[in-house]
Amino acid sequence: MKSIKNHLSLVIALVSILFSIQILVIAERSIDKYKDKLANDYSIVVVSQKILDNNEMMQENSIISSVSTLAPDNVIKRLDTGMSTKNIELLKLTLPKFYNIKLKYYPSSSEIKVLTEKLLRKPSITKVENYSNSHDSTYKLLLLFKRVITIFSVSMLVVTMLLILKELKIWQFKHNERMNIMGLFGAPLWMRSAILFRLSIVDALIASLVSFILFTFIASDSWVNEQFDYIGIKVMIFDPLYDLIILTTISIVVSIVLASLIVLGHKEEV
């Protein structure tokens, strides 16, 4: 019963590490997807006194995805007080040209500033509306969310690794006599510590399996998917192949590294 309890403690600790890592991955994917959504919704309006070459603007600024001309009809409709067709056409010629610029991705505040300054260097461009206030607020909120998730995950990782070290130390004490006897008969260090590494690897595989079941359930939960639907994004919460390989590898590596630290720190009794 005590042996099962020790195994369970180690498995839970490893699952906690894998859980924090996967949450960080989900947060990263969510932010990337949300950035794509913002990039589709976000645009910069440019006012120019002359017709601009769309292809030239895209070549000069690699961040620009597309440039489209905004028709002045809506502006003219607001000013239309029964003007003749001829006067409307003349007004169209005298009005400045409006362009809507779409970007390839959601930019940082510094990228927006650089792009705005570069556009304003063109003599024909008189104004660039980049909606900097709302953009900065949204971008800083995304960064804050990412930092909070990262700090939380790293903190959980550190604390859990210390718990695993303690648990492995207990297992080492349990097998200390047997390891010392094997050492007296000339057994190499790896052979004396084989049981500790075997325990670590088996529990790492069990933790990976538990994480697989846990995240498969979370990914299929309707409530979780509804939360992403509310903000208009689709996120791969758990990739059964890719994520499982990554989590299993991390679980095994962490277990072996921590077990190695315990073994290397072991002092033989004389």
Q: Residues 52, 98: contact at Cβ < 8 Å? A: no
Task: Label each residue of the chain as H, E or C.
Answer: CHHHHHHHHHHHHHHHHHHHHHHHHHHHHHHHHHHHHHHHHCEEEEEECCCCCHHHHHHHCCCEEEEEEECCHHHHHHHCCCCCHHHHHHHHHHCCEEEEEEECCCCCHHHHHHHHHHHHCCCCEEEEECCHHHHHHHHHHHHHHHHHHHHHHHHHHHHHHHHHHHHHHHHHHHCHHHHHHHHHCCCCHHHHCHHHHHHHHHHHHHHHHHHHHHHHHHHHCHHHHHHHHHCCCCCCCCCCCHHHHHHHHHHHHHHHHHHHHHHHCCCCCC
d(CA 106, CA 149): 20
Q: What is the pLDDT of residue 246?
A: 92
Torsion of CA 102, 105, 110, 112, to 10 degrees: 10
d(CA 142, CA 148): 10
Q: Where in the chain is the domain with CATH 3.30.70?
A: 43-130
Average pLDDT over residues 210-238: 87
The amino acid that residue 49 corresponds to is: Q
Average pLDDT over residues 178-207: 68
Q: Pick the more confident residue, 254 or 76.
A: 254
d(CA 180, CA 183): 5
Instruction: Kindly indicate the confidence band of residue 266, based on its pLDDT and cuts at 50, 70 and 90.
Output: low
Q: What is the pLDDT of residue 214?
A: 92
From 14-23, 93-102, 214-223, the region with the lowest mean pLDDT: 93-102
For the chain, what is the mean pLDDT?
Answer: 77
Residue 268, pLDDT above cutoff 90: no
Q: What fold does the segment set 43-130 form as a domain?
A: Alpha-Beta Plaits (3.30.70)
What are the Cα distances from residue 94, in Å, to 10, 91, 225?
A: 75, 5, 51
Instruction: Kindly indicate the confidence band of residue 152, based on its pLDDT and cuts at 50, 70 and 90.
Output: confident
Question: For the whole model, what pTM was predicted?
Answer: 0.72
